C-alpha cells in the first residue's frame, strides 16, 4: 500500500477518528503529528452486510499499523480466528440484533455473533479447552505482544516457533480456513499465497493486535453450556454443534443431549436465538436462509428458533 505525505490536518495522533462521519471514504488524510513525529493515515470505510466497518492504516516511522476504530462507540471487529461453523459473516445479515446489554454465547467457538456487538457485556462458555484457552489469552494479551508474534518462514511449522500453547493455537487456527482445531502446518492454500489476508501473516497479526483492546471486558468460561453462570436476562445466541452435521468438533453433537438442551434454551431469561441446520428436530425450528459455507460451491440451509416474534431482517 502506498503512503503519500498528506497535508497536516488537526487530528491528534492519539485520537483516531471516532465516527463514520469523521472518516474519509478511501482518500488520504493527514494527521498532525502532535507528539513530535510525523504520522500519515489512510482511513478507509467499508460496509460489511450493511454494518460500517471502519479501520485505518497508519504509518509511524517504518511501522505500519492497522487500527480498528470504533464507529459511533461500537468497534467493528473482524474474527480473531476462523472457525468451522463460525457465524460472523451471517450474524448481522440473518440474526436479530441483541435486545439486552449482555450477550451470552454458551457455545462460543469463534463467537461470531458477540464480535458484532463487542462493546456490550459479553459472556462466552466453551467446553473445548483449546478454544477456551485461545479466548482467555485474547482477552488478556496486550497488542504489543501480538505484534511480536513471529510469522512462519517457508517450510516452518508452528512447533518451530517455540511459543507457549495459546499463541501457537491462535496461529494454528490461521493456517487453514475455518477449521475446528488449530493446525501445525500451513495448508496448500496458505502456501500458495493467494489470499494473504486470510492466513497467518502481517495483515492478520495487525488486525488481531488492533482489536484486543475491545474485548478486554469479555468474560470467558471453560464450562459446558448448562453451567453457564449467567442467571439474569440477556441475549442468548445459542449455536451448538448441529444435531446432524456437528460431528467435526472435538466436542461435537454426539455428547449433547438435545432434549435437555431444548429445555435449557426454553428456560433462558431474555431474548433467545438458537441456530441449527435443516433437519434438526429438537426445537420447532423455522427456515432462516440458505447460506454459503467455507466449502466451495456448498450451501447450508440454516434454521432458527427464537422466543421473540420474528421480524424478517
Ligand X SMILES: C[S@@+](CC[C@H](N)C(=O)[O-])C[C@H]1O[C@@H](n2cnc3c(N)ncnc32)[C@H](O)[C@@H]1O
Q: What is the contact surface with ligand X in residues (CB under 6 A)?
A: 83, 85-88, 106-107, 109-112, 125-128, 131, 224-225, 239-241, 249, 251
Q: Which is nearer to ligand X, 81 or 200 (CB)?
A: 81
120 grid coordinates: 456490550
Q: Which is nearer to ligand X, 142 or 244 (CB)?
A: 244
Residue with cell 502481517: 202
- To ligand X, the closest distance from the beta carbon of 251 in angstroms equals 4
- To ligand X, the closest distance from the beta carbon of 43 in angstroms equals 28
- To ligand X, the closest distance from the beta carbon of 281 in angstroms equals 18
Q: What separation in angstroms does the CA of 50 have from each of 27, 90, 93, 115, 204?
A: 21, 11, 8, 15, 23
Q: Which is nearer to ligand X, 39 or 265 (CB)?
A: 265
Concatenating the DSSP letter of every residue in the chain gives ---------S--TTS---SGGGS-SSS-EEE--TTSS-EEEEEEEEEETTEEEEEEEEEETTEEEEEE-EETTEE-PPPSS--TT--HHHHHHHSPPPSSSEEEESS-TT-HHHHHTTTSEEEEE--SHHHHHHHHHHHH--HHHHHHSPPPPTT--GGGG---HHHHHHHHHTSSSS-SS--SS--HHHHHTS-GGGSSSHHHHHHHHHHGGGGTT-EEE-S-GGG----S-EEEEE-PSPTTT--SSTT-GGG--HHHHHHHHHT-SEEEEEEEETT--SS--EEEEEEE-SSTT-EEEEEEEESS-----
Q: Which is nearer to ligand X, 89 or 147 (CB)?
A: 89
- To ligand X, the closest distance from the beta carbon of 231 in angstroms equals 17
- To ligand X, the closest distance from the beta carbon of 157 in angstroms equals 24
The alpha-carbon radius of gyration of the chain (Å, integer) is: 20
Q: Which is nearer to ligand X, 40 or 221 (CB)?
A: 221
- To ligand X, the closest distance from the beta carbon of 249 in angstroms equals 4
- To ligand X, the closest distance from the beta carbon of 228 in angstroms equals 8
Residue with cell 467455507: 294
Q: Which is nearer to ligand X, 83 or 236 (CB)?
A: 83
Q: Which is nearer to ligand X, 31 or 238 (CB)?
A: 238
- To ligand X, the closest distance from the beta carbon of 182 in angstroms equals 12
- To ligand X, the closest distance from the beta carbon of 136 in angstroms equals 14
Q: Which is nearer to ligand X, 60 or 300 (CB)?
A: 300
Q: What separation in angstroms does the CA of 267 have from each of 163, 193, 270, 281, 310?
A: 43, 48, 9, 18, 19
Q: Which is nearer to ligand X, 83 or 200 (CB)?
A: 83
Amino acid at each position: 500500500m502506498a503512503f503519500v505525505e498528506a497535508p497536516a490536518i488537526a487530528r491528534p495522533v492519539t485520537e483516531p477518528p471516532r465516527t463514520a462521519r469523521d472518516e474519509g471514504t478511501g482518500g488520504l488524510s493527514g494527521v498532525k503529528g502532535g507528539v513530535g513525529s510525523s504520522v500519515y493515515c489512510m482511513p478507509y470505510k467499508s460496509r460489511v452486510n450493511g454494518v460500517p466497518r471502519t479501520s485505518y492504516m497508519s504509518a509511524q516511522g517504518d511501522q505500519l499499523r492497522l487500527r480498528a476504530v470504533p464507529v459511533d462507540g461500537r468497534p467493528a471487529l473482524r474474527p480473531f480466528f476462523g472457525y468451522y461453523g463460525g457465524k460472523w459473516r451471517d450474524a448481522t445479515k440473518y440474526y436479530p440484533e441483541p435486545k439486552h446489554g449482555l450477550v451470552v454465547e454458551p457455545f462460543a467457538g469463534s463467537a461470531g455473533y458477540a464480535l458484532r456487538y463487542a462493546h456490550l457485556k459479553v459472556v462466552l462458555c466453551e467446553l473445548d479447552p483449546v478454544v477456551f484457552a485461545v479466548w482467555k489469552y485474547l482477552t488478556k494479551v496486550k497488542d504489543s505482544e501480538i505484534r511480536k508474534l513471529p510469522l512462519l518462514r517457508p517450510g516452518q511449522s508452528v512447533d518451530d516457533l517455540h511459543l507457549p500453547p495459546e499463541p501457537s493455537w491462535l496461529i494454528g487456527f490461521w493456517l487453514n480456513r475455518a477449521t475446528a482445531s488449530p493446525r501445525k502446518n500451513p495448508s496448500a492454500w496458505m502456501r500458495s499465497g493467494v489470499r494473504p489476508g486470510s492466513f497467518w501473516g502481517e495483515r492478520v497479526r495487525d488486525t488481531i493486535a488492533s482489536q484486543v483492546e475491545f474485548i478486554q471486558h469479555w468474560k470467558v468460561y471453560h464450562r459446558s453450556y448448562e453451567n453457564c453462570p449467567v442467571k439474569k436476562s440477556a441475549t442468548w445466541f445459542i449455536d451448538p454443534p448441529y444435531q446432524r452435521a456437528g460431528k467435526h468438533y472435538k466436542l461435537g453433537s454426539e455428547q449433547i443431549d438435545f432434549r435437555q438442551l431444548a429445555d435449557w434454551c426454553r428456560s433462558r431469561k431474555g431474548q433467545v436465538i438458537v441456530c441449527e441446520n435443516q433437519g434438526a428436530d429438537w426445537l420447532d425450528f423455522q427456515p432462516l436462509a440458505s447460506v454459503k459455507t467455507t466449502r466451495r460451491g456448498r450451501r447450508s440451509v440454516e434454521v432458527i428458533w427464537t422466543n421473540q416474534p420474528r421480524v424478517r431482517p
